[in-house]
Structure 1
Amino acid sequence: MGALSGKTALVTGGGRGIGRAISERLARDGARVGVHYGHDETAAKETVAAIEAAGGRAFAIQAELGVPGDAEALWAAFDAQAEGLDVLVNNAGINKAVDGTLKGIGEVTAEDFDRLFAVNTKAPFFIVQRGLTRLRDGGRIINVSTGLTRGAAKPELIAYAMTKGAIDVFTSTLAKDLGPRGITVNAVAPGAVDTDMNARWLRGEVNAEARQRVSGISPLGRVADGTDIGDVVAFLASGDSRWVTGQWIDATGGALL
């Protein structure tokens, strides 16, 4: 039996990149996984199919985040396919402005700012708020943060890093609040990860220099892939992490050393 046999998990943004790796790992550990997506139905269904092909159980649910009523829509879709929850992973997030670019403080518009906070900070807050009646005692909440909240962020990621700084505060405070129910709350903070989101600057021969530079930041001498983060999340979702709560887990491969 897997560490999560008989459990139900929900991973926001679970169809691609880090989210897919998390979904697949939790399913491999025995959980029935709700793979949430906002727009990319194809990727979510491919993730579900991959999980099922490996002998696991999963289902896809759709809800756009960062819009009015997003948490209610997500839980309505979840309730149609599951009853109760044991593991909630707040993974979905964006790091670009409305026009799809990265912007420093001189270029970020109010619309950019509000969109980043709506998806990365407000949505997880209300997903948890609306989900507490579904989350069983002894459950797990895992928030995906970023290594950029420790030390100065890159100038073009200032607003993004601010959204995750709020998630760090949310994590530690929520851990105190939910401790009496045996629910642990932790944040996992990746560094640069080789996913589709980072493909434009991290992959291909043209970007060999960028990849080498990122590899050199970690004392382990390589770039992370989604499974490196998914495995950390799996530990926090398991019973083995029962005495770990309110923590910010550095999953940057030592990049902050």
Structure 2
Amino acid sequence: MQYTKYGTKALAIQADISNLGKIRIMFATTLKELKKMDIIVANAGVEVVYLPAIDITEEDYDKLFTINTKGAFLTVQGGAKHAGDNGRIIYISSSTITNILEGKALYGSSKLAPMYLVEVLAKEIGQYKQLEEIGMDIQPLHLRIVSAALLSSC
């Protein structure tokens, strides 16, 4: 689905990011339609809710890590290969990586690994060219939960 507003174009593509072939098609489609990529957003996640760490099965692990970790990793990696000058790569994580919650061990850990990749990519790309020279920006984004009581005291 293509969006055009304010003189810019955006393309939203739904893709199975657990499959490298589908990710490649996603990037190829975007390049064909838009000719370049200014912003790549990796925002995907499935969750096994309120499952104690000692009860996590291999099937649970494979399901979450295939999408939340592998899929996000391959999307961010592909974004780094295809983002143009002044491009942005944004990985949207989860508040669970800083807000440790019972029953969220598998989900939180699956969202943490891509955060590390984002930090490493920023350093590695900077080794080849200064990020400022090519204008590329790679940013992790994770939302933090703020207590309503804390906000009301401000």
TM range (shorter): 0.7 to 0.9
User: How much does 1:31 deviate?
Assistant: 4.2
Matching residue of 1:187: 140
Matching residue of 1:155: 102
Matching residue of 1:130: 78
SS at match of 2:140: strand
Matching residue of 2:125: 178
Structure 2 length-normalised TM:
0.77
Kindly indicate whether residue 8 of structure 2 is the aligned counterpart of residue 34 of structure 1: no
Work out the CA distance in 1 between the residues paired with 2:13 and 2:95.
24
Work out the CA distance in 1 between the residues paired with 2:52 and 2:5.
40
> Closer, same or farther in 2 for the Cα pair 1:29/1:187, shift >3 Å?
farther
Matching residue of 1:143: 91
Q: Is the 8 A contact 2:50 2:102 kept in 1?
A: no
User: How much does 1:161 deviate?
Assistant: 0.6
User: How much does 1:132 deviate?
Assistant: 3.3
Q: Is the 8 A contact 1:137 1:182 kept in 2?
A: yes
Higher relative CO (Cα under 8 Å, sequence separation at least 6) belongs to 2
> Closer, same or farther in 2 for the Cα pair 1:77/1:142, shift >3 Å?
same
Matching residue of 1:72: 24
Q: Is the 8 A contact 1:145 1:187 kept in 2?
A: yes
SS at match of 1:185: strand
SS at match of 1:148: helix
User: How much does 1:29 deviate?
Assistant: 6.8
User: How much does 1:88 deviate?
Assistant: 0.9
SS at match of 2:38: strand
User: How much does 1:150 deviate?
Assistant: 2.0
Structure 1 residues without counterparts, runs of 5 or longer: 1-14, 16-23, 38-62, 193-213, 222-257
> Closer, same or farther in 2 for the Cα pair 1:120/1:28, shift >3 Å?
farther
Deviations 1:57-96 (A, max 9, x none): xxxxxx2122352322322332342211011111122223
SS at match of 1:36: coil
Q: Is the 8 A contact 1:95 1:102 kept in 2?
A: no
> Closer, same or farther in 2 for the Cα pair 1:159/1:168, shift >3 Å?
same
Structure 1 length-normalised TM:
0.49
Deviations 1:134-177 (A, max 9, x none): 211221111111222125x2121111110121122112111112
Moved over 4 A (4+): 27-31
> Closer, same or farther in 2 for the Cα pair 1:171/1:128, shift >3 Å?
closer
Work out the CA distance in 2 between the residues paired with 1:30 and 1:156.
45
Number of aligned positions between the proteins: 145
Write out aligned runs for 1:99-114 (5 A): 101-114=49-62
Matching residue of 1:85: 37
Matching residue of 1:220: 151
Give 1:136's aligned amino acid.
G
> Closer, same or farther in 2 for the Cα pair 1:132/1:168, shift >3 Å?
closer
**Two-structure CA RMSD over aligned residues (Å):** 2.7
Work out the CA distance in 1 between the residues paired with 2:22 and 2:55.
28
SS at match of 2:55: coil
